[in-house]
Amino acid sequence: MTHSEDILKARAEEEKDIRRQHIIKSAEAVMLRVGLSKLSISAVAKEAKLAQGTLYLYFKKKEDIIAQLTVKSREELLKIFQDGISQSDDPLQQIRNILYANLHFYQSNKLYHDLVSFYEANSGLEETPILQAASQKITNLVVSVLENAKQQGLVKASLNTTDFAFVMWGTSVGMVQLIEVKHTLLTNTLNSSLDAFYNHYVDVMVDGITA
């Protein structure tokens, strides 16, 4: 292959990647407007101003587009967790910050929060190795914080850190969903704010494992 052919090939790959990113951004715009459940290839094509046939050259189905955005959302969550951890040298406070970070993630970007667990919540969908790797990085980070707390004798020696990492994720997602769906009921029933309600949840979680 000649040098000029190499240049043409590289340019074609660059243009293909630009088109792919344009499609992904268009899909995100559609989901922000109508919701994740209403995403369709036709809606993305209309948003991207492309023929549906052109989209199929890049993505075989809408789930492939969602997968790309899911990886991005998990990477964003990882960064938010890392930021929360960096704010304190105390492992127990770091655990608290991780739980608070999940609520902040939901409040600042609900779509990405929904995308993080999209494949987990849809049993008919199989995660790709890239999706699994993005998820594993989050798990490894949380486990490392819990292990550090365990090594310092701050949490119970019997704590299974991997198990508890998933408990943290499951319960924090559940709390966020409760606040989302039942916020009016909670506001009318509680003698405190929703933030104070979530703070109480964080206290219960951390106090439950503290040595």
List, for residues 149-161, the tens digit of each pLDDT value.
Answer: 999 999 999 999 9
Side-chain-facing half-sphere of 91: CA atoms under 13 Å: 19
Residue 124 has pLDDT above 70, yes or no: no
Please give the Cα distance from 205 to 10 (Å, whole number): 52
The architecture (CATH level 2) of 68-209 comes to: Orthogonal Bundle (1.10)
The pLDDT confidence band at residue 10, using thresholds 50, 70 and 90, is low
Reported CATH class of domain 1-60: mainly alpha
Would the CATH topology of 1-60 be identical to that of 68-209? no
Query: What digits encode the pLDDT tens for the residues 179-199?
Result: 888 878 877 887 778 888 899
3-state SS assignment for residue 159: coil
Please give the Cα distance from 149 to 204 (Å, whole number): 17
Q: Where are the domains of the chain?
A: 1-60, 68-209
Please give the Cα distance from 189 to 104 (Å, whole number): 23
How would you class 29 by CB atoms within 10 Å of its CB: exposed for 0-12, middle for 13-18, buried for 19 or more? middle
